Structure 1
C-alpha cells in the first residue's frame, strides 16, 4: 500500500496575517459555531465521536449513521467510519467522508438515466477525544463517485452545509463550521492531491491509477484545532 504524502499547510495564524477584515470575521464566525457545537455536546456529556456512534457497538467499516446524513437543499452529505489500524499510516479513531452532489450544484451535467453517486471532497480524521486532527484526500476507487477538479472543489466547499433535519444538529454544525474555518487548508490538500495524481499518471493511464487498490490515500495534512482557535482569538 502506497503511503500518503504528508503536507504541511500554513497554520491559521499565518493566514490571518494576510486576511482582510471580512475574512477575519468569517474565520471568527466559523470558529464560534464550531466551539458552540462542541460545548453543546459537552454539556450533554458527549463529544463528536460519541455522538456520531451513539449507543451502537462501534464496528469498523460500517457507516455512522447507517444511511449517511444528507442535506438536500445544500447538496451535501457525510458519514463516519473507521478502518483497521493496520490500514492507516497515522493514528486516528476514524474519519468523516464529506461529499457534495455535483449534478445538483451544476458541477457536472445531469443524466436522466441515473442518479450520479456523490462526489468526495475531503476526509476529516478524528481522534478518540472527538477532535479533528487532519484532512486527507483519497483515490477515486475509495468512494467511487465523480472526481472533481480543483476549481469544482472550490465551488463545492462554498456550498457545503448541513442544516437539514437529518443527523445530529451539533455534528452538522461542527462539520459545516470546520469546512468554513479550514477552507484554505482543505484546498491545499486538494491541490496536492492533483499534483500527486498527475505524477502517478505520467507513465500510466489515469483510469488505471484511479482503480489501483494499492493507492488509497494520496495526501494528508495535520491540523491543531485548539492552537488555531487560540491564535484566532489573538487576532480578533
Structure 2
C-alpha cells in the first residue's frame, strides 16, 4: 500500500514543479482535444491493428539525446484498462555511478551496456485515453536490468522526450506525468524493491525476477485533475 503523500510537507519548490507539470499536462490535453484527438489515439495512429503485447509505436519512442524511451501496449486483461505506457531510461542517460544490482541467482541474462535500461514507471490508461493508474513491474515484464530504488529515483528527473515523434504533445505529456507524480513514483519504486526483497526471503535460492506469478509489484490509482486542484489550492495565499 502506497502511503498518502502529504503535499504540505513537500518543499515549496517541489510542489511548484509538480504544479507546472500539471499545467503542462492540461495544455497537452487542450491541444489534442481541440483537434478531436487523445493521447492513446496519437500513439496508435498509422500503426495498423492494435494487437496485445506488440509495442506502439513499433520500435518504441526513443530520444538519442536524453536516452529516454517509452512504448504503449496492452496485455493485462483488465477490463477497466485499455493499455499502458512503459517508461525507461537507457544506461547512457543515467546519473554517473548508476549500476544494476549484483544478482547471482539470475537465470536469464540481463541486458548490458546502453541496453541495460531501467524501467521507471508504467502509466495505465482508460478506454478514453486518460491516465488511471501508475505501477511498477517485476524485471521479466520489461526485460530490464535491475537498478536499486534510490538509483531509479535519481533517474526520474532525467526522463524526457525532446522530439516530435509520434506526437509532440504526447511526448511532453508523458514527461510531465513523471514530474507531476514524482513523489508518488518514488514510493512506488521503493515499495517495488520491498516486494522483491520479501519475495526473495520467501523463495530463497530462486530467481524471483523471473517469477511469472509476480508481474505488478506496486500499483497506485490516480486522478490527475484532483491532484492539480490540490496543488493549486496550496499555492493560494
- Name the TM tier (shorter chain): 0.7 to 0.9
Q: 2:91 aligns with which of 77, 86, 102?
A: 102
Query: Could you tell me which of 25, 28, 36 is aligned with 2:19?
Result: 28
SS in 2 for 1:202: helix
1:8–1:222 CA contact under 8 A, matched in 2: no
How far apart are 1:219 and its partner, in Å?
A: 1.4
Match of 2:39 in 1: 48
Give RMSD over aligned pairs: 2.0
In structure 2, what is the Cα distance between the partners aligned to 1:71 and 1:36? 22
Write out per-residue CA displacement over residues 75-94 of structure 1, whole angstroms, 9 at most, x where no aligned residue.
Answer: 11000000152xx4x73110
Query: Highest relative contact order (Cα 8 Å, sep 6+), 1 or 2?
Result: 1
Structure 2 contact 81–124 (Cα < 8 Å) conserved: yes
Instruction: Specify which of 48, 73, 82 is matched with residue 81 of structure 1.
Output: 73
Report what 1:4 is aligned to: none
Q: Aligned partners of 1:186, 1:98: CA distance in 2, in Å?
A: 12
CA distance in 2, matches of 1:204, 1:8: 24
* Alpha-carbon shift at residue 138 of structure 1 (Å): 0.8
Q: How does 1:1-236 map to 2 (within 5 A)?
A: 7-10=1-4, 14-15=6-7, 17-55=8-46, 56-83=48-75, 85=77, 88=78, 91-105=80-94, 106=96, 107-108=98-99, 115-205=114-204, 208-236=207-235
Q: Is the 8 A contact 1:80 1:97 kept in 2?
A: yes
TM-score by length of 2: 0.86
| C-alpha separation in 2, matches of 1:103 and 1:73 | 9
Q: How far apart, in 2, do the equivalents of 1:167 and 1:181 lie?
A: 22
Q: Is the 8 A contact 1:60 1:84 kept in 2?
A: no
**Pair 103,29 (structure 1): closer, same or farther in 2 beyond 3 Å:** same
SS at match of 1:59: coil
User: How has the CA–CA distance of structure 1 residues 132 and 104 changed in structure 2, closer, same or farther, with 3 Å as cutoff?
Assistant: same
When residues 60 and 155 of structure 1 are mapped into structure 2, their CA distance, relative to the original with a 3 A threshold, is: same
Q: How far does the alpha carbon of each residue in 1:8-33 deviate from its partner, in whole angstroms, 9 at most, with x for none?
A: 4425xx31x22333223212211111
Offset from partner CA, 1:19-75 (integer Å, 9 cap, x none): 333223212211111111111110110111111111432221111100100112111
Instruction: Give the direction of change, closer, same or farther, for the CA distance of 1:114–1:225 in structure 2 (3 Å limit).
Output: closer
